Structure formats: C-alpha cells, structure tokens
C-alpha cells in the first residue's frame, strides 16, 4: 500500500510543523511522497525540498490562496469558502524550483493586505473578549507566532491560536476554560470536544481550543477579504508564467466536519456542472480534492466530471493540526490508485520543469490542454 499527501501546511502558513518537521512526520507516518501547501506563501518550499533530499523522500511544492470569482458566473455564490461568497480557495502545484522566490514575491502584496485585515479583526475580537478581561493585539500577540518576517503568511488560525493562548493563560484550569467558552462566550461544545479539553493533552490542548473557536466564532469577527484576493484570471496567469499547475480545490457540501472546525454547510454541489464549466473557461488545469472529507457519491461525481472535462486530478489531506493523520485510508481503495500516480506525476513534472520548463510543458501537455 502506498500513501501520499500533497497538501501539508507548515509554519509558513499555520501548522505545528516546520517544513523539515513536516517531511520527517510524513516519512514517520508512512507516506512515500509529501507536498508542501502553505497559504499565500512558498517561503518554506526550499527547506521542504532540502529535508526531502536529506532523508531520501520525493517531495513536491505548491501554494494555496483565495481568489475572487466576482468576474465570473459564480459571482455571489457560496463556492468553497465557508466565510465569504464569490471567493474560492485554489492551489498552485508543481512549482519549478527556480521560480519559488518569484511566486513568493508575487504573493507578498497580498500577504501585506491580509495583515491589514488581520489587524482589524483583532480589534473586533478584543471588543468581544474585553468584558472578560482579555484583549488581542495583532503586532504583540499574533505576529510573533507567525513566519511573516521570513516570507510566511498570517491567517485566521494564527489569530485564534493567539486567542487560545490568552484563554489558557487567563484560566489555567481546563474546567474553567470549558466554563468560560460555554458560559461566557456562549460557544456550543460537544461531548467529544469537552472530553478533549478536559483531558488537556499538552500536544493538542491549545489546538483543540483553536478548533472550537474557528468552528463557532469566526462569523462574529470576520471581515470580508478584498484586496488580499487576486482575481482568478490573474492567479491563472501567474501560475502559467511561473510554470506551475493550477487547481481548483473542491470542498463539497459539508455534513459532519472531519477536523471539527467547519459547520454543516452547503457549497458547490447544487451547481456542480456550472462550476466545472466556469473553471474550464477561466483556464484551470486540475481539480484537487480530499477523499476523507467527501462521501462516496461526491467523490464518484467529481471523478466523473474531471474525466469528462479533462482535468488532472490531485489529492491531498489538509494538515494543519497535530491531531490530523498524515495517512489517508481512502488510498487503500483501488478506485483512488490514480491519485497516487498523480502525486508521482507532480513530482516528475516539477523536477523536469526545474531543469527545462519549456520541455516539461510539452512533455506533460495532457495536463495543460483542455
């Protein structure tokens, strides 16, 4: 059995793992390949590559970002972003190594714009928690737990992780934390979540609080993203310029959240055929999806639509918390063998494109021709 994962976040966006630690954890957990995928940043890619070379593990590099779809037929739709209409999560896979810095430079203005919004959201959070003796300062509390100074991004998870640290400092007793979250902040806590919080496992404790906050609090302080989201066509142009593979990230309607930080919510499924028409029109090369997050019916439909429309299929399990498994059991089903093959194809393309981009684009033309 061969396990792969092309969607591992690191400390260059939000994760308990540095790029080198992510590669080590991937190897230790039985993966045969690994892929870095940070929000708005390729800053950790070189360390990830070096770690892979050091332990003899094939790796691939990508980035994830949000784009505006306002200039498409999807304007006003809830796409794959739980917090905002007309905005979609997308990915760039297979970054040729000579263009890693170029990609990160292209993303830099969007990271800066995001921090402007992050600062405003911290002010909103402080308004919510100040009556309970807490406050959150972006520069003092959030920036130091990020890798922004070395080319990383700052996300909503950083903000909520900083808040989780404030809460645990204010209430050292886990029972008091549960009472504060449920009683004072009015957050719903399931029996499973309460058990995890009361156990207060130091490896997971603050991440468990983060997951609870993200699942129930974001709408209370969220400010819509604007300038930090490139237009989808500008994103596609950047990916083509720097030789990557552009991928739409299918989410699908959510029932029970696998990671505990997403509510039951509807996304693309009601207009899935139109979605595929649009992503084909704007020029995406691939569709990426996470087998453990979707039902068998959703996965069968997505695979059929990818085949019908000629999209390269990529998979990856979103790793940004210590409780998440690097291994996707779905790969034990032969119907997903093509996703394992795709992981190796990504690595082969990336290495070929690093040597000769033009030749690689020609060799792998079946990925890019629609």
Q: How many CA atoms lie within 13 A of 211 on its CB side?
A: 24
pLDDT digits (tens, 9 = 90+) for 97-146: 999 999 999 999 999 999 999 999 999 999 999 988 899 999 999 999 99
> What is the pTM (predicted TM-score) of this model?
0.94
pLDDT tens digits for range 11-36: 999 999 999 999 999 999 999 999 99
In 222-277, where do the E strands start and end?
245-249
Q: Looking at per-residue confidence, does 83 or 238 come out higher?
A: 238
The 10s digit of each residue's pLDDT in 291-346 is 988 999 999 999 999 999 999 999 988 999 999 999 988 899 999 999 999 999 99
Sheet holding 286-289, edge to edge: 34-39, 59-68, 87-93, 245-249, 286-289, 312-315
Residue 246 structure tokens:
């552009």
Contact status, residue 331 vs residue 339, Cβ threshold 8 Å: yes
Q: What CATH superfamily is the domain 19-109+228-368?
A: Metal-dependent hydrolases (3.20.20.140)
| Contact predicate 369/310, CB 8 Å | yes
CA dist 251 and 267 (Å) reads 7
pLDDT of 369: 76
* Least confident segment among 205-209, 262-266, 338-342: 262-266
Using CA atoms, how far apart are residues 175 and 288, in angstroms rounded to an integer? 40
Question: Residue 69 in contact with residue 75, Cβ under 8 Å?
Answer: yes
CB-based contacts of 244: which residues, under 8 Å, 6+ apart?
A: 62, 92, 93, 94, 95, 96, 99, 103
3-state secondary structure 38-99: EECCCCCHHHHHHHHHHHCCCEEEEEEEEEECCCCCCCCCCCCCCCCCCEEEEEEECCCHHH
Q: By the 8 A CB rule, do 301 and 313 touch?
A: no
């Amino acid at each position: 059995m061969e396990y792969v994962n092309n969607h591992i976040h690191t400390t260059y966006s939000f994760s308990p793992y540095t790029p080198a630690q992510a590669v080590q954890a991937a190897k230790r957990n039985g993966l045969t390949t690994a892929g870095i995928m940070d929000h708005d940043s390729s800053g950790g890619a070189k360390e990830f590559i070096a770690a892979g070379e050091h332990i003899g593990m094939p790796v691939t590099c990508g980035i994830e970002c949000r784009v505006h779809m306002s200039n498409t037929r999807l304007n006003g739709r809830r796409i794959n972003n739980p917090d905002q209409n007309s905005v979609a999560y997308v990915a760039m896979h297979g970054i040729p190594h000579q263009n890693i810095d170029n990609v990160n430079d292209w993303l830099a203005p969007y990271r800066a714009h995001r921090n402007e919004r992050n600062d405003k959201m911290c002010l909103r959070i402080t308004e919510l928690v100040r009556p309970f003796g807490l406050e959150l300062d972006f520069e003092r509390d959030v920036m130091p737990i990020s890798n922004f100074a070395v080319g990383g991004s700052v996300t909503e998870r950083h903000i909520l992780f900083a808040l989780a640290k404030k809460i645990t400092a204010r209430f050292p007793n886990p029972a008091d934390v549960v009472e504060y979250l449920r009683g004072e902040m009015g957050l719903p806590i399931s029996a499973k979540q309460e058990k995890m919080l009361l156990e207060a496992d130091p490896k997971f404790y603050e991440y468990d609080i983060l997951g609870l906050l993200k699942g129930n609090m974001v709408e209370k302080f969220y400010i819509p993203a604007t300038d930090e989201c490139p237009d989808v066509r500008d994103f596609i142009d950047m990916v083509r310029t720097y030789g990557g593979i552009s991928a739409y990230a299918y989410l699908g309607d959510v029932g029970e959240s696998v990671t505990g930080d997403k509510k039951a919510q509807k996304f693309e499924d009601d207009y899935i055929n139109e979605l595929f028409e649009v992503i084909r029109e704007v020029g995406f090369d691939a569709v990426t999806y996470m087998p453990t997050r979707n039902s068998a019916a959703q996965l069968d439909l997505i695979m059929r639509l990818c085949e019908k429309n000629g999209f390269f299929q990529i998979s990856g399990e979103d790793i940004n918390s210590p409780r998440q498994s690097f291994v996707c059991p779905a790969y034990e089903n032969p119907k997903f063998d093509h996703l394992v093959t795709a992981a190796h194809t990504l690595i082969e393309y990336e290495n070929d494109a690093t040597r000769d981009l033009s030749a690689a684009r020609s060799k792998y033309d079946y990925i890019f021709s629609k």
